[in-house]
Structure 1
Amino acid sequence: MGSYIGMGLVYNGIPENGLESELKNVVNFLISHNGSINNIKFSKDRHGNEWTETIIDNKENENFYSYLSNGYFGQLHLICNILSIQKLNVYIRIEKNKNFFGLLLDISEEELIGTASIEDIGKITDNIIEFLNELYGFTVFAYAFCDNEAEIQYSPIEFQSQSLNEDIYSIVAIPDLENKNKLKIIKSNWHIDGLTTRII
């Protein structure tokens, strides 16, 4: 895929208790934006030696959620209309840890940003923030982020203990303590392309 922009959604709790449900919530949200699932893949073993890849008929049953949630290194590819882009390829990767789990939404930097100007990157950032706020109505994550080739670095507990000095990810979204239905947005001093300085 080349360079990608990663949006991460990180959840409290052990994966066995919430991963499948939250994955369904996120996928259904994306499908509601004129989306369709293309394929899934996951490893049957923790070392990534035995992989299964399946093309999905969007009319078939939803057993694949269980396969993705219970397998290793689960990934789902879908196409949808989000962030003001038609037919955007989105790859959802599953990350499981002992006491938390996460979903990483990877989008090709070329598809999302291309050769955008600084002003256009600012508009794309606004679209991402709007997207995260809308998504938060469907899935309640402990925190979310967006950055160039972003990966989950912290559990929700570790993240809370960090001094939110705006240097963790390009964009961070955390639940607003004063209004539980909204997110507090923190922007770092660089844009989501990882190169351009953000003028605040």
Structure 2
Amino acid sequence: MTNILSLGIVYDNSFDKSEELQSIIQYFLNLKSDIFGIKVSMDEDGENWLESERNEKNFILDYTLLTEKYFGEIQMQLNDFWSLNGLSLTLRIVKENDFFGYLLDFEMEQLLNQYSLDLINELIIDLVKDIYNVTKFIYAFCDHDSEIEYSPSQYKDLVEAYSILILPREKNGFDVIKNNWQIDGITSRNKI
């Protein structure tokens, strides 16, 4: 079983996939992060991948290629992020018929070696709110090894689908819904 903490950021198709991806990547690059690899599936079955690593001469971060092909993935190392050095992040691009999103996968063990579950919850919520300053998504979520499964129009399904659900309000602020289980997928959440 993988031990991944997934942070999903979801949009409807009125947003430009390439522009939103560029905003998220730039957000992390501004935090002293490094991209060390990209992968793009050239076919629907995921059998033919175009891969590039940072040390290759032909390494180009092509946002359009990443968002217009079938699957895309960017591997990053976050330096000095939440006082952690060398935190791994894999950003995956998810496209559905009427919506799309980005999954930010963190290695849970790297986080738990430094922080409690409750503090990781708060750090994730703060991260999502900060990312909203550069890209105005429809909703965000966090849970253990999760996928983007729900259209932004499926509000009732969203409310109980993830450990943490973050919904930007129309005017200002956010609604943050914390469900009964923690982001590790096992531990019950202590309700205050």
TM-score normalized by the length of structure 1: 0.87
In the TM superposition, 1:135-154 aligns within 5 A as 135-154=131-150
Tell me the amino acid that sits aligned with residue 77 of structure 1: Q
In the TM superposition, 1:65-144 aligns within 5 A as 65-80=63-78, 81-114=80-113, 120-144=116-140
Q: Do 2:5 and 2:107's aligned partners in 1 also have CA atoms closer than 8 Å?
A: yes
SS of 1:162's partner is helix
Determine the structure 1 residue equivalent to 2:157: 162
Determine the structure 2 residue equivalent to 1:183: 174
Partners in 1 of 2:126 and 2:117 — Cα distance?
Answer: 14
Partners in 2 of 1:92 and 1:195 — Cα distance?
Answer: 24
Q: Do 1:26 and 1:138's aligned partners in 2 also have CA atoms closer than 8 Å?
A: yes
Q: Do 1:90 and 1:107's aligned partners in 2 also have CA atoms closer than 8 Å?
A: yes
Gaps spanning 5+ residues in structure 1: where?
none
Give me the identity figure in percent: 33
Write out per-residue CA displacement over residues 117-175 of structure 1, whole angstroms, 9 at most, x where no aligned residue.
Answer: xxx110111111111111110111100000000111101012x24373xx211111001
SS of 2:162's partner is coil
Write out per-residue CA displacement over residues 41-86 of structure 1, whole angstroms, 9 at most, x where no aligned residue.
Answer: 0111111111111013699885521221122210000111434422
Partners in 2 of 1:73 and 1:113 — Cα distance?
Answer: 29
> Given the alignment of the two structures, is residue 32 of structure 1 paired with residue 30 of structure 2, yes or no?
yes
Give aligned pairs, total: 190
Tell me the amino acid that sits aligned with residue 34 of structure 2: S
In terms of mean alpha carbon deviation, does 74-83 or 187-196 score higher? 74-83
> Given the alignment of the two structures, is residue 2 of structure 1 paired with residue 2 of structure 2, yes or no?
yes
Tell me the amino acid that sits aligned with residue 105 of structure 2: D
In terms of mean alpha carbon deviation, does 188-197 or 60-69 score higher? 60-69
Q: Do 2:8 and 2:102's aligned partners in 1 also have CA atoms closer than 8 Å?
A: yes
RMSD across aligned positions (CA): 2.3
Partners in 1 of 2:40 and 2:119 — Cα distance?
Answer: 34
Tell me the amino acid that sits aligned with residue 169 of structure 1: Y
Q: Post-superposition shift, 1:36? A: 1.1
Partners in 1 of 2:20 and 2:85 — Cα distance?
Answer: 24
